[in-house]
Amino acid sequence: MIRFDNVTKIFGRDTAALEEINLEVEDGEFIFLVGQSGSGKSTMVRLILKEYEPTAGAIHVRGTRLSAIPRRKIPRHRRSIGCVFQDFKLLPNKTAAENVAYAMEVTGQKRRQIRTKVPQILELVGLTEKMGKMPDQLSGGEQQRVSIARAFVSQPPILIADEPTGNLDPDTSVGIMQLLHRINRIGTTVVVATHDKEMVDVMRKRVVALDNGRIVRDRVKGAYLDEV
Amino acid sequence: MRFNFGFFMREALKNIRTNFLMSITAATTTFICILVLGVGLLVSSHVEGIVGSVQQDVNIEWYLSSDMSQEEIDEMEGEISSFPEVENVSYTSEEEALTRFQDTFSDNPEVYQDISEGVLPASLEIQLNEAEDADAVAGKLEDAGAAPADLNYPQQTIERLNAATGYMIWGLYGATALFLVSSILLISNAIRLSIFARRNEIEVMKLVGASDSFVRTPFVFEGLLQSIVGAGLAALVVVWLNYLFVDWSQSALPYVPVASGAVDTILILLALVIVGVAIGVIGSFVSVTRFLRV
């Protein structure tokens, strides 16, 4: 589903964000990328989205080598990956429902389809009553639910979350993680970059630990530290 | 993907509503720029019109000596009207000259009460096709027996007028062109500012998988609507100012030949709206494109 082959990313002249990363994420897997700030988690996420090009090595997503995708086709690539960010990245001038609808509009789906699908997905994330609210009228947890709904509404095969609970309190974070888990159980491959130790320990999923741009550990049912 | 006009229009209108102040700024900038541009065009074309009609009015007056007989005068009039440079010759008798003089000064009768018939000479008024021919025609009249002192024509005035108005018209067009350039810069800057304020939104749209044109089109529509409002209003004001000026000049400056038809108002209206809308649309297009590289 997602494969990194000897990927190195160097910023500027000699700041190596990632060094010789090899990683394979299977179809339908749930995987945590953990590590401190600056360890290279976000760089990996951005490489998968083709926001950056790797300095060396190759990345394949669903069998396609990313460097072979022309700029013109990047939007289509991104539509196959639902994306959730730490700062939610909602459109401030649109209501919760409109934000979710926008992700369907960019793919040119019919209005009728959008009108039936958006309430369904908002119900799934538990926001039926807040559909008409603007982002600044929602709590952080609610905004993150909207952004998950937006990421998932087109049912992409992959969902990537970059520090999804970074701005949320622990109780709210549990809800968000459960939501991601539910999405994974439907068959979506989920990649979560985080340094939220408690979440990782509770979920008992595959954990890939990064340190200074290198993979230092890869456990199938891991915990954040995994000293045991 | 099908081009969804309704969707993009709704998005554009919604954006204008939520970013109302920014939209007003862009529309106002367009309005002011197009207004000044329009006034510049208006002044240029009126000056050109007036100069054109002044040049057309050039004529030579030949004051006839009183010992010419009526037959001689008639013969001369016929000969002069056959000159190719001459458009029209008309004879003014001594009585008519006096009547005209009295009419001109009807407000101050003391000017003409001592003037009797015979003081003002009879004359031939020779209208020319082209002002530049004045010298040549005067030469021919001298050959035909006119004393140089009896010929009155504003050759020097014409030459000066030609030079001065030439510079003036070029100056006006130059100023208008300069203003067009600064309008383009001002308007596109206003647009760029309003788009810069929303660059995060553009980034999010791109991350959600929107194509460049999908992000760009509502912005271009916004630019289109703003500039139609701004430039349209400005064009209407320009036409209204033109109407006021023509109206006022007819009563206040009756001797200045301001032609209401010198300015084709529909043409000016169209040109201004097209210029404004082009700047708005191209400006939006270019400004958004800068922020699309995500």
Instruction: Among A77, A86, A91, A147, pick the best mutation site for testing chain B contact (most B Cβ within 10 A).
Output: A91
Query: Is B141 found in the same domain as B263?
Result: no
Say what the alpha-carbon torsion angle A127, A130, A132, A133 is, to the nearest 10 degrees: -120
Query: Is B287 found in the same domain as B189?
Result: yes
* φ, ψ at B209 (rounded to 5°): 105, 15
- A91: chain B residues, CB-CB within 8 Å: 201, 204-205
Structural domain of B49: 5-54+159-291
Summary mean pLDDT of chain B: 81
pLDDT at B97 over 90: no
Sign of the Cα torsion B191, B197, B202, B203 reads: positive
Mean pLDDT of B85-89: 80
Query: Is B267 found in the same domain as B170?
Result: yes
Find out whether B198 and B19 touch, Cβ atoms under 8 Å: yes
Query: Is B197 found in the same domain as B135?
Result: no
Per-residue CA distances from A18 to A1, A9, A21, A98 (Å): 20, 5, 7, 37
* Candidates A92, A103, A108; nearest CB to B208: A103
Q: How many domains does chain B have?
A: 2
Residue B101: Cβ-neighbour burial (10 angstroms; 0-12, 13-18, 19+): middle
For residue A13, give how far its alpha carbon lies from the nearest alpha carbon of chain B (Å).
21
* DSSP helix/strand/coil, A18: strand
Task: Quote the pLDDT of residue B113.
Answer: 72
Query: Is B215 found in the same domain as B83?
Result: no
Mean pLDDT of A174-203: 91
Query: Is B200 found in the same domain as B179?
Result: yes
Report the DSSP pairing between strands B59-63 and A214-219.
Answer: unpaired
Query: Is B260 found in the same domain as B200?
Result: yes
Q: How confident is residue B260, by pLDDT bands cut at 50, 70 and 90? A: low
Mean pLDDT of A197-203: 86
Mean pLDDT of A104-131: 90
Per-residue CA distances from A179 to A80, A128, A191 (Å): 19, 15, 13
Query: Is B278 found in the same domain as B194?
Result: yes
CATH code, domain carrying B72: 3.30.70.3040
Structure-model confidence comparison of residues A53 and A224, the more confident one: A53
pLDDT at B6 over 60: yes
* Candidates B2, B18, B212; nearest CB to A93: B18
Of chain A, the end-to-end C-alpha distance in Å amounts to 30
* Candidates A49, A51, A75; nearest CB to B210: A75
CB within 8 Å: B211 and A108: no
Query: Is B44 found in the same domain as B166?
Result: yes
Q: Which of B86, B121, B153 is the last residue of a domain?
A: B153
Query: Is B202 found in the same domain as B165?
Result: yes
Query: Is B37 found in the same domain as B115?
Result: no
pLDDT at A228 over 50: no
| Rounded Cα–Cα distance for residues A148 and A103 (Å) | 11
Query: Is B172 found in the same domain as B133?
Result: no
Q: Which of B153, B173, B201 is the last residue of a domain?
A: B153
Mean pLDDT of B140-157: 74
Mean pLDDT of A185-204: 90
Task: Quote the pLDDT of residue B261.
Answer: 56
Q: How confident is residue B152, by pLDDT bands cut at 50, 70 and 90? A: confident
Mean pLDDT of B201-220: 87
Q: Which of B153, B171, B189 is the last residue of a domain?
A: B153
In this predicted model, what pLDDT tens digit does every residue of B161-194 receive, in sequence order? 777 777 877 888 888 888 888 888 888 888 888 8
B2 — contact with chain A (CB < 8 Å)?
A: yes
Q: How confident is residue B292, by pLDDT bands cut at 50, 70 and 90? A: confident
For residue B204, give how far its alpha carbon lies from the nearest alpha carbon of chain A (Å).
6
ipTM field: 0.79
Q: How confident is residue B56, by pLDDT bands cut at 50, 70 and 90? A: low
**Would you report the helix, strand and coil content of chain A in percent, each value rounded to 5?**
40, 25, 35
Task: Quote the pLDDT of residue A58.
Answer: 95
Report the DSSP pairing between strands B123-128 and B86-92.
Answer: antiparallel
B7 — contact with chain A (CB < 8 Å)?
A: yes
